[in-house]
């Protein structure tokens, strides 16, 4: 298992939480940036020679970008869509190229959100749009890459109890 994230400190904590016996490694990269996503997969390939599974679980940020749909700022739209949609694209492309060239198939799992199917009345336009698009992209990739033995799925959890959504979870 190789974890990828922007913070070496958080990655170290995650490594210990996933497997305290050291069977997990990490790569520091911001997968909202194409070259960093490419380099992360290159490092995985150099260390392990293959990519079997990619879990796209980058996302969130919506609680920090709540605006009415008619006035959603373009810069915040871009930030939320990049975080929740573009990151999946940029990490998946090099991973799938490695899977195809390896000839063993693989698995892609996109962590979407129930908000990709359901709206919410609190200014989440960019987040809802990004997760809905991620669901559509999941279906497209599944269709396109099935011939290579690559299965692509998404799961759509609802809110998890984190500091970012604490206020929402308190609202009946």
127 catalytically annotated: yes
Q: What is the CA radius of gyration of the chain?
A: 17
**Cα separation values, 135 from 11, 29, 49, 111, 115, Å:** 27, 24, 29, 9, 11
User: What distance in Å separates the CA atoms of residue 102 and residue 52, rounded to the nearest whole number?
Assistant: 9
User: What distance in Å separates the CA atoms of residue 122 and residue 63, rounded to the nearest whole number?
Assistant: 9
User: What distance in Å separates the CA atoms of residue 118 and residue 123, rounded to the nearest whole number?
Assistant: 13
Q: Which of 67, 72, 124, 127 is catalytic?
A: 127
Residue 18 sits at the vertex; the CA angle it makes with 79 and 16, to the nearest 5 degrees, is 95
Residues belonging to the active site: 127
């Amino acid at each position: 298992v190789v974890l990828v994230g922007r913070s070496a400190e958080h990655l170290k904590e995650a490594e210990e939480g996933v497997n305290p016996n050291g069977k997990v490694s990490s790569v520091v990269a911001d997968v909202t940036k194409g070259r960093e996503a490419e380099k992360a997969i290159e490092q995985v390939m150099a260390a392990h020679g293959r990519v079997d599974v990619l879990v796209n679980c980058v996302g969130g940020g919506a609680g920090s970008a709540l605006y009415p749909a008619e006035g959603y700022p373009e810069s915040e739209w871009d930030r939320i869509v990049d975080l929740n949609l573009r990151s999946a694209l940029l990490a998946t492309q090099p991973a799938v190229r490695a899977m195809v060239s390896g000839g063993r198939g693989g698995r892609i799992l996109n962590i979407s959100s129930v908000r990709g199917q359901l709206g919410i009345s609190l200014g989440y336009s960019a987040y809802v749009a990004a997760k809905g698009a991620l669901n559509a992209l999941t279906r497209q990739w599944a269709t396109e890459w099935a011939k290579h033995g690559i299965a692509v799925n998404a799961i759509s959890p609802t809110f998890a109890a984190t500091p970012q959504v604490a206020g929402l979870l308190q609202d009946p």
